[in-house]
Structure 1
Amino acid sequence: MINVIIADDHQIVLDGLKSLLEREQDICSVGEALNGIELLAQLEIKQIDVAVIDIDMPLMNGIETTKEIKKLHPEVKVLILSMYNDNEYIRQLIEIGASGYILKNKGKEELVNAIRKIAAGGEYLGDAVIKTLMDEMKKPKKNLSDEKTQLTKREIEVLKLIAKGYTTPQIAETLFIAHSTVETHRRNLIDKLGVANSKELIRYAIENGYCH
């Protein structure tokens, strides 16, 4: 069971999201909050897997709330629910540790899929969000002339799946390879591309045109 808490400053939104999630057998809405401060207080007393957070809240907005969650409760996954399809918001939230970013005008199916994917350890960016990040780029920033950044065909396949939010077991199943092989490719990608973690791999993939 995936335990979810929802934070939004509009009660009607909270009620609607809770009603949607209660229809899913594997998702349990265990709390709601009208701002980031209320959310953080509930995290102290409840076992939460995923926090669904509105980016625009009073007292403590979604960005500040995400920073505090990742500092105090790093095991809690954060899914941002936003009206803003804005490149800077998206980049900033990915950098501070959000596992997903979707738009409020999307349907129930995307919300549920995002919750399930990030609860399983993956990342989730909606198609519209990925398009915004890609449109921001004037041209791909590929720096593959250096031998250290030459990627093999298999590494590129793994990179594309990581960028789609696939977990290690999902990548292994898709490519018919062992879990340990996936992790080896992941480490090689991090080393070759000079990034710190999987979130930065996703950012690299988006900026360099691998999310097609």
Structure 2
Amino acid sequence: MINVIIADDHQIVLDGLKLLLEREKDICPVGEALNGVELLAQLEKKQVDVAVIDIDMPRMNGIETTKEIRKRFPHIKVLILSMYNDNEYIKQLVEVGASGYILKNKGKEELVSAIRKIASGSEYLGEDIIKTIMEEMKKPKKTLNENKIPLTKREIEVLKLIAQGCTTPQIADKLYIAPSTVETHRRNLIDKLGVANSKELIRYAIENGYCQ
């Protein structure tokens, strides 16, 4: 069972999300909050796997709340719900440790899928979000790839699938290799690219054109 807590400054949104999630057999809404301060107080008392957070809340916004959650409750995964398909917001949230980012105009299926995916340890960025980041990176600013670190063909394949949000078993199935081999490639990529985790691998892949 995936224990989920929801934070949004609109009670009608909280009620709607709670109703949707209660219909899923493997998801249990265990709490709700109207702002980040209330959310953090509840996390002290509740067993939570995933926090679904609105980015635009009073007292403590989604970015600040995510940063605090990752610092104080590192086992809790954060999924951001937002009206903003904005590259800067997305980058900031990935940097502070959010595991997923989806738009509020998406349907129930994507929300539930995102919760399940990040609860399993993967990251989730909606297709619209990935498209926004890619379009931003294509704008003529500066050459991002001048110092691109050379990767093997297999490392590139694994990196692309990680950036698509695929889990280790899914990558293994697609590439016809063992899950342990996928994890070896993942660790090698983290070491070679000098990043800290899979979220930073995704960011590197997007910024360096591996998602095109």
Q: Give the TM-score of the pair, scaled to structure 1.
A: 0.93
Report whether the alignment pairs 1:93 with 2:93: yes
Partner of 1:38: 38
Deviations 1:66-85 (A, max 9, x none): 01100110000000000111
1:152 Cα deviation from its structure 2 partner: 1.7
Aligned to 1:115: 115
User: How far is the alpha carbon of 1:144 from its aligned partner?
Assistant: 6.4
SS at match of 1:90: helix
Which residue is 1:12 aligned to? 12
Structure 2 unaligned segments of length 5 or more: list them.
none
Alignment map for 1:30-179 (pairs within 5 Å): 30-137=30-137, 138=139, 141-143=144-146, 149-179=149-179
Partner of 1:26: 26
Amino acid paired to 1:42: Q
Any conservation in 2 of the 1:55–1:61 contact (CA below 8 Å)? yes
1:143 is displaced (CA, Å) by 4.2
Contact kept? 1:144, 1:150, Cα under 8 Å: no
Aligned to 1:193: 193
Deviation at 1:193, TM superposition (A): 2.2
Task: Give the 3-state SS of the residue equivalent to 2:31 in structure 1.
Answer: strand
Give the residue type in structure 1 aligned to 2:105. Answer: N
Q: How far apart in 1 are the matches of 2:62 and 2:195?
A: 25
SS for the counterpart of 1:112 is helix
RMSD: 1.5
TM-superposed CA distance for 1:153, in Å, is 1.8
Q: Is the 8 A contact 1:52 1:81 kept in 2?
A: yes
1:115-164: CA deviation from partner (whole Å, max 9, x where unpaired)? 0100000000011111111111126733467xxx2222211111011112
Q: Is the 8 A contact 1:2 1:26 kept in 2?
A: yes
Structure-2 separation of matches of 1:49 and 1:130: 25
- 1:59 corresponds to which letter in structure 2? R
1:1-51 Cα offsets, whole Å, 9 max, x none, are 111000000000001111111111111111111011111111111110000
Structure 1 residues 82-121: Cα deviation after superposition (integer angstroms, max 9, x where no partner): 0111111100000010000001111111111100100000
Number of aligned pairs?
Answer: 209
* Moved segments of 4+, more than 6 Å: none
Q: Secondary structure at the match of 1:51?
A: strand
CA distance in 1, matches of 2:180, 2:106: 36
Stretch deviating more after TM superposition (69-78 or 178-187)? 178-187
